[in-house]
């Protein structure tokens, strides 16, 4: 029974990961022909966010982003509005953007 409980805890904890939010104004935006999008914030990223991705290269992005996410990022960049990003882990060398809120 103890082994069963331990295995369940290990299995469930493997699906739990950190989630961090960072805010700022988009300084630079990158989009490629396959639909990937990446941004740099003018304020940079917090150490907590940087710790999400060991290979972090200064960008947060998503290689398979939904068109709505890309549209919001582009609109925020064009209008110099602030965004709040939810980041979780890596997408290559980028912090992986999981959600965005403009304000």
Closest-CA residue to 69 (of 46, 102, 26): 102
pLDDT confidence of residue 89: 96
> What pLDDT shows up at residue 29?
98
Element (H, E) at 66: none
Closest CA to 95 of 83, 103, 85: 85
Q: Is 17 helix (H, G, I), strand (E, B) or coil?
A: coil
* pLDDT given at position 18: 74
- Candidates 2.60.40.1120, 3.30.43.10, 2.60.40.10, 2.40.50.70; correct CATH number of 18-102? 2.40.50.70
Q: Rounded to whole angstroms, how far apart are CA atoms 67 and 51?
A: 27
d(Cα 82, Cα 84) in Å, to the nearest integer? 7
Question: What pLDDT, on the 0 to 100 scale, is given for residue 65?
Answer: 92
Report phi then psi at 64, rounded to 5: -125, 40
Query: Going residue by residue through the chain (103 aa), what tens digit of pLDDT does each one get?
Result: 666 554 554 444 444 557 999 999 999 999 999 999 999 999 999 999 999 999 999 999 999 999 999 999 999 999 999 999 999 999 999 999 999 999 8
Cβ–Cβ under 8 Å, residues 49 and 84 = no
Per-domain residue ranges of the chain: 18-102
């Amino acid at each position: 029974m103890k082994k069963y409980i331990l295995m369940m805890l290990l299995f469930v904890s493997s699906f739990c990961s950190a989630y961090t939010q960072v805010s700022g104004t988009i300084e630079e935006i990158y989009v490629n022909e396959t639909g990937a999008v990446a941004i740099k914030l003018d304020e940079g990223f917090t150490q907590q966010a940087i710790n999400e991705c060991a290979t972090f290269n200064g960008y947060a992005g998503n290689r398979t982003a939904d068109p709505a996410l890309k549209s919001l990022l582009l609109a925020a960049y064009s209008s110099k509005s602030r965004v709040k990003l939810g980041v979780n882990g890596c997408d290559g060398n980028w912090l992986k953007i999981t959600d965005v809120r403009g304000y």
